[in-house]
């Protein structure tokens, strides 16, 4: 905005330039679980169905914590096998607040694998209140952190943050060969550059794979 004012409305100088940039240009490498690490973790928390289905959604769909906690029953379409993301949850000053997603592209539809649809149906069968508009998971983020720590202790896998499950999902999709554009759409990123800048450290090994594929075509 200040650059615009400088270029077109006579502002002599953008005062923000004197402050310099904030944060690091190259963020620290992100932690994530491999598929086998996640499966080991997931197996250790099957004793608590709610925790298990929560982490299944976080890992296999790559959704944000706030998006998960805002989900209502009507957001799951078993006919089309899709999950609709159109809101986010926050707890502010002791109140449950439902807001718009983080960005406009955050409004999206995520395709669900069959096994996850089956697990969601089984979990819904355990619910007493099945009002379509009621939040599926009437909990706060602190519950996620506690169950994450419990699962790590039980399974012996390395500790990562709950948000790192989103990175783990991306790592899995890259390993499976899906394009950055498709990954960006699934994550709800505003543009593909966000995806590439955020997860560029996961792509280098794909270069060797690409070269090997080209070799095999010629040979």
Question: Would you state the structure tokens that stand for residue 189, as one six-digit string?
Answer: 């990123």
Closest alpha carbon to 58 in 48, 47, 49, 67: 67
Q: Which residue has the higher pLDDT, 7 or 156?
A: 156
Q: In which element (H, E) is residue 178 found?
A: none
What local confidence, expressed as pLDDT, does residue 114 receive? 96
* Per-residue model confidence (pLDDT) at position 64: 95
Question: pLDDT tens for residues 126-146?
Answer: 998 788 988 999 998 999 999
Per-residue pLDDT reduced to its tens digit, 98-125: 999 878 889 999 999 999 999 999 999 9
Residues 198 and 184 sit within 8 Å (Cβ to Cβ):
no
Taking alpha carbons only, the member of 183, 159, 188, 184 closest to residue 172 is: 183
Nearest to 62 by CA among 193, 144, 168, 201: 168
Q: What is the pLDDT of residue 63?
A: 96
Taking the C-alpha atoms of residue 208 and residue 217, their distance in angstroms, rounded to an integer, is 14
203 pLDDT band, cuts 50/70/90, is low
Per mean pLDDT, which of 1-15, 78-92, 127-141, 196-210 is the most reliable?
78-92
Residue 129, H or E segment? none
What residues contact 143, with CB distance under 8 A and at least 6 apart? none
- Using CA atoms in the order 157, 160, 163, 167, what is the torsion angle rounded to 10 degrees? -70
The DSSP 8-state label assigned to residue 214 in this structure reads: H
């Amino acid at each position: 905005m200040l650059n615009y004012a400088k270029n077109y409305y006579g502002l002599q100088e953008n005062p923000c330039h004197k402050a310099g940039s904030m944060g690091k240009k190259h963020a620290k490498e992100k932690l994530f679980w491999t598929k086998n690490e996640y499966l080991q973790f997931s197996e250790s928390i099957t004793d608590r169905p709610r925790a298990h289905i929560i982490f299944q959604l976080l890992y296999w769909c790559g959704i944000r914590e706030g998006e998960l906690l805002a989900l209502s029953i009507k957001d799951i379409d078993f006919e089309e096998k899709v999950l609709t993301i159109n809101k986010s949850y926050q707890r502010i000053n002791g109140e449950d607040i439902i807001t718009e997603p983080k960005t406009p592209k955050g409004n999206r539809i995520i395709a669900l694998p069959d096994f996850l649809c089956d697990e969601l149906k089984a979990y819904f069968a355990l619910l007493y209140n099945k009002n379509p508009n009621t939040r599926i998971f009437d909990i706060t983020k602190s519950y996620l952190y506690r169950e994450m720590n419990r699962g790590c202790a039980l399974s012996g896998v390395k500790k990562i943050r709950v948000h790192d499950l989103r990175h783990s999902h991306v790592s899995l999709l890259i390993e499976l060969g899906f394009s950055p554009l498709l990954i960006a759409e699934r994550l709800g990123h505003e543009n593909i550059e966000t995806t590439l800048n955020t997860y560029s450290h996961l792509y280098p090994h794909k270069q060797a794979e690409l070269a090997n594929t080209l070799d095999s075509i010629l040979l």
